[in-house]
Amino acid sequence: MFELTLLCPEERVDAVSEAFDALDALSVSVEDADAQTEAEQALFGEPGMPAPRQAWSSSRITALFATQAAAQEAASLLAAQDFFAGCEVAGIAFVAEQDWVRLTQSQFDPVRITPEFWIVPSWHEPPAGAVQTIRLDPGMAFGTGTHPTTRMCLRWIAQRGASGGQALGRVLDYGCGSGILAIGAAKFGGEPIDAVDIDPAAVQATGDNARANGVQLHAGLPEQAQGPYQTVLANILATPLKVLAPLLCAHVAPGGHLVLAGILERQAEELQQAYAPWLQLSVADSEDGWILMTAHR
């Protein structure tokens, strides 16, 4: 196969990507042309905030074609279009045939939460020393153990769960995504467990992942969360966490714990203020600029 690479300003990315589709490209990908440099830009937004931009000021578009002739023809056709103004062809390169599935899988190793607790992709053997594991495949949905916010929640669950007895008690995982936190809580003795999400696809994935891990939990929409819980976990983002403050606090049982993630270091104070009418939040962990905030009733 052959890949054709273009450099385009942000406003040209949509038109060029659509043209590649019309030219029967096998795949099209867009990256930051300034990645790994000082000018690299992060593109992300929070729910309720303005939509994130769709491309970078300087974007690198790569399209894959079955033959060199098809890649060259696509480059010539595009170069003749008005919407190509400001774009340039960076090159056409041969791409060796690969076993893409194996290559992708080889890039995802088990993720260590503690020396004994690991997230292990289904195609991997658990590492030596793994006493507790969650089997989940990376890249399928958010919450597969590779993000610092998820890892910090799982570390908290492992520490609390290891403190003996029924330490986690009844658990609520609010914004469960793949169900990873609920499954982790089940593995460390939490019971019963409600895992809820506004996204029905997440509810479905949570049920499937729980079965694959041999644990019992109840996955559903947010209305399913009812009454007091010994442990309330929510890894969402600062803005929705502030909106959810009264609801989440109302679910924390006397003597129970609230565990919040998805918060940047600089957002600690605004979260503390938002939760102050009900609970006193403090920073319990941090990783890569993200913090874990917890409170005890």
Ligand X SMILES: C[S@@+](CC[C@H](N)C(=O)[O-])C[C@H]1O[C@@H](n2cnc3c(N)ncnc32)[C@H](O)[C@@H]1O
294 belongs to an annotated ligand binding site: no
Give the Cβ contact number of residue 37 at 10 Å: 9
Which of 120, 180, 284, 293 lies at the binding interface for ligand X (CB under 6 A)? 180
209 belongs to an annotated ligand binding site: no
What six digits make up the tokens of 194? 């409600």
Shortest approach of ligand X to residue 115 CB, angstroms? 21
Per DSSP (E only), the strands in 142-228 are 171-174, 193-196, 218-220
Return the number of the residue (58 or 224) whose C-beta is nearest ligand X: 224
Stretch that binds ligand X, among 83-91, 113-121, 170-178, 186-194 (CB under 6 A): 170-178
Measured distance CA(116)–CA(113) in Å, rounded: 8
Chain CA centroid to CA 195, Å:
17
Which of 198, 227, 246, 265 lies at the binding interface for ligand X (CB under 6 A)? 198
Cis previous bond, 121, omega within 30: no
Measured distance CA(79)–CA(191) in Å, rounded: 62
Return the number of the residue (44 or 100) whose C-beta is nearest ligand X: 44
Could you say which residues in the range 30-89 bind ligand X, by CB under 6 A? 47
Return the number of the residue (17 or 235) whose C-beta is nearest ligand X: 235
Count of residues touching ligand X (by CB under 6 A): 20
Measured distance CA(266)–CA(28) in Å, rounded: 36
Measured distance CA(219)–CA(39) in Å, rounded: 42
149 belongs to an annotated ligand binding site: no
Return the number of the residue (2 or 290) whose C-beta is nearest ligand X: 290
With CA atoms as reference, report the closest residue to 149 among 229, 232, 234: 234
Could you say which residues in the range 232-271 bind ligand X, by CB under 6 A? 235-236, 240, 262
Shortest approach of ligand X to residue 244 CB, angstroms? 6
Beta carbons of 99 and 123 less than 8 angstroms apart: no
Stretch that binds ligand X, among 31-39, 122-130, 191-199, 271-279 (CB under 6 A): 191-199
Measured distance CA(23)–CA(17) in Å, rounded: 10
- Indicate whether 176 belongs to the interface with ligand X (CB under 6 A): yes
| Angle between helical axes of 148-161 and 180-187 (0-180°, round to 10) | 20
Which of 177, 184, 189, 256 lies at the binding interface for ligand X (CB under 6 A)? 177
What six digits make up the tokens of 233? 């976990």
Which of 78, 120, 153, 203 lies at the binding interface for ligand X (CB under 6 A)? 153
Shortest approach of ligand X to residue 198 CB, angstroms? 4
Chain CA centroid to CA 88, Å:
33
With CA atoms as reference, report the closest residue to 146 among 137, 159, 156, 157: 137
Which of 17, 59, 62, 150 lies at the binding interface for ligand X (CB under 6 A)? 150
Return the number of the residue (3 or 197) whose C-beta is nearest ligand X: 197
- Indicate whether 285 belongs to the interface with ligand X (CB under 6 A): no
Measured distance CA(250)–CA(254) in Å, rounded: 10
The binding site for S-adenosyl-L-methionine consists of 150, 175, 197, 235
**Contact footprint for ligand X (CB under 6 A):** 47, 142-143, 150, 153, 174-177, 180-181, 197-199, 202, 222, 235-236, 240, 262
